[in-house]
Structure 1
């Protein structure tokens, strides 16, 4: 911004126009702010790890005997739920990142961003990228525990899981931003989040196999978008395990449409398309935000 004084003594203020360079810089700044906020908030970092660790090592250990006596004989239950716990970690963290928009609105920072000479789309994209990177970073902590639940530290597995974690967390952040754009209080946002996300997590097959389900439950898992984020992670893990074909069929049956097993590529494409659609919704919501 520059100023000058004309002959009549009136001060003119020149605000730089919007450009692609300014929008890219805005994306970088919003992304950087998200990462700094997360790194400096140690309490949030630790609290979002408590639930996944409890599921993995407390519930997983307590229920492992049930699986070892069933069709998944020879597979530790903690190994089975490990991909689901990763998904739960990144999804929860991504939603918390999206919820910070409501916090920014309450303290007036959001208004400052909205009046900046950049497109609102750049703010949303930076927010979603930041949420995706932060959630993936949180998932890396769970990823580091793979050896404790008999999952090998394979470079190819780690790379696959990192890519899938980022895709899932970006999509969930876009979903959260589309909700948070119209919320006025943190209480309302987290109430909606609990109502929307928790059922989707439990119906995604994160904590139970998708094989042999009642018809009504099988239908709910197939129409649940998070199923297509969790199943590729489980498939990636099981392809790196030495288990019997019977155990693999029982614990990693995949998602079937009319008898056809949905491939991992199709599942990831579904998640990517949902992410793009939700990003568009979030941008539209932000353009209507005061």
Structure 2
């Protein structure tokens, strides 16, 4: 290593700290990542809860013994961190626009440390939003287990890391914020609806379920619901493994992409 070059850990820590500082000043990002899932909870959760309550025991069996609001609650928590994590990619776009990314690329700092530090910092920032949403959702669903909330947030943490990695991977191929937002919306909405957050996946056709099980959000939602309520479609160990594997694949892809990035 050249004299004066930062170590891998120093570069990683510095980038993670920078992203946390940026988050503190990004009020619009915080508001967007909290308000969007909160709207789903209020308008979708309460609205459909009233409709499903009319079905009585049939609805309870449909959602594994839970009310619809209880079924939706873990999905709302994961949705919060997942949508918030995509903001990591937008940060890459703006760093490119203002020249900061170019400075990082020509610096002696290890690129893997830089990228993983960015993703980690954004993930931790997103978890602040996720914790706030978990408290709000728990109040709405009358959920009172601190251990369950903490376990659910642990699963959401991995989902947030996956989201930040996916957002960064997309951003490294984009030239403008407008293009990034368009691609993210095309990617994010199907991932949300094919995650089991809003309805069970079992009745869906086989080819749709095959797509759903490539989605890290599917494992995160099922794992979070299983840890909070004991209701899950897959074995929890398989949920944890699937979430870890898919997250690892996207993270390694983002690191590989960043290592080859060149800005003239």
Shift of 1:277: 1.9
Distance in 2 between residues matched to 1:266 and 1:172, nearest whole Å? 20
Contact 1:182 1:289 in 2 (8 A): no
Shift of 1:136: 1.3
Equivalent of 2:3 in 10, 16, 23: 16
Contact 2:162 2:250 in 1 (8 A): yes
Equivalent of 1:36 in 18, 21, 26: 21
Q: Which has the higher strand share?
A: 1
Summarize deviations over 1:156-195 as a string: whole Å, max 9, x none.
Answer: 2122112111111111211221221222111111111111
5 Å matches for 1:216-231? 216-231=207-222
Distance in 1 between residues matched to 2:256 and 2:40, nearest whole Å? 37
Equivalent of 1:159 in 130, 150, 165: 150
Distance in 2 between residues matched to 1:17 and 1:169, nearest whole Å? 33
Distance in 2 between residues matched to 1:225 and 1:147, nearest whole Å? 23
Contact 2:166 2:251 in 1 (8 A): yes
The residue number in structure 2 matching 1:94 is 85
Contact 1:204 1:226 in 2 (8 A): yes
Q: Which has the higher helix share?
A: 2
Alignment of 1:138 onto 2:136: no
Aligned residue for 1:210, secondary structure, equals: coil
Distance in 2 between residues matched to 1:253 and 1:270, nearest whole Å? 14
The residue number in structure 1 matching 2:12 is 27
Distance in 2 between residues matched to 1:214 and 1:253, nearest whole Å? 19
Contact 2:72 2:197 in 1 (8 A): yes
Contact 2:77 2:137 in 1 (8 A): no
Distance 1:147 1:253, change over 3 A: closer
Contact 2:159 2:243 in 1 (8 A): yes
Contact 1:210 1:218 in 2 (8 A): yes
Aligned residue for 1:72, secondary structure, equals: helix
Aligned residue for 1:184, secondary structure, equals: coil
Alignment of 1:237 onto 2:228: yes
Equivalent of 2:33 in 42, 48, 73: 48
Shift of 1:220: 3.6
Contact 2:90 2:167 in 1 (8 A): yes
Alignment of 1:108 onto 2:99: yes
Equivalent of 2:246 in 274, 280, 290: 274
Structure 1's unaligned 5+ residue stretches are: 1-14, 240-251, 255-261
Number of aligned residue pairs: 255
Shift of 1:212: 3.0
C-alpha RMSD of matched pairs (Å): 1.9
Which has the larger Rg?
1
The residue number in structure 1 matching 2:159 is 168
Contact 1:60 1:78 in 2 (8 A): yes
Equivalent of 2:198 in 207, 210, 223: 207
Distance in 1 between residues matched to 2:23 and 2:164, nearest whole Å? 14
| TM-score (ref. length: structure 2) | 0.89
